[in-house]
Structure 1
Amino acid sequence: MTQTKCPKCSHTEFAEGTDYMRVKPLNNKLGKSSEKIYTFCLGCGEVVSTRIENPAIFRK
């Protein structure tokens, strides 16, 4: 996703970060997990995107 303008404040600089709370499949809570990656506006902090770093672990 290429974000060019924040929908809340129109700022144009973004960064990515994580909260270190990993996502696990509901049917296998002790198995593999993946981090969430947030893309957010550096002007106001609005989160414009959340994605899973490794979605392949959710395939059956």
Structure 2
Amino acid sequence: MSKLLSEKIVYFYRKQKELVRLKENKCLKCNSEEVAEGTDFMPVKPLNKKFSMGSNKIYTFCLNCGEVLSIRIENPMKFKE
């Protein structure tokens, strides 16, 4: 097996492992399962709608080490035209 192919397989395996950890809400950095959600109340606003209120970002993070596991938009429908 070539080195490039083996590196791609290792990369794919690591990414699959990270996806499983995210689904389980397990920290990728310290393996803790203690996670919480919060917001910074700074809305993301559509570029094409100057007067839109936008939508807050929701962060999922580890309570043990502070690693951010995911960021999502609270109301993505505000961005559909």
**Fold shared, TM-score > 0.5 on shorter chain:** yes
Deviations 1:3-57 (A, max 9, x none): 3321101111100000111010001131131000000000100000000000001
| Structure 1: 4+ residue segments shifted above 4 A | none
TM (norm. structure 2) is 0.68
CA distance in 1 between counterparts of 2:51 and 2:24 reads: 35
Q: Which has the higher contact order (CA 8 A, sep 6+)?
A: 1
Structure 2 unmatched runs, 5+: 1-21
Structure 1 unmatched runs, 5+: none
The yes-or-no answer on 1:35 pairing with 2:56 is yes
TM (norm. structure 1) is 0.89
Higher-Rg member (1/2): 2
Question: Greater strand share, 1 or 2?
Answer: 1
Question: Could you say what the CA RMSD is over the residues aligned between the two structures, in angstroms?
Answer: 1.4
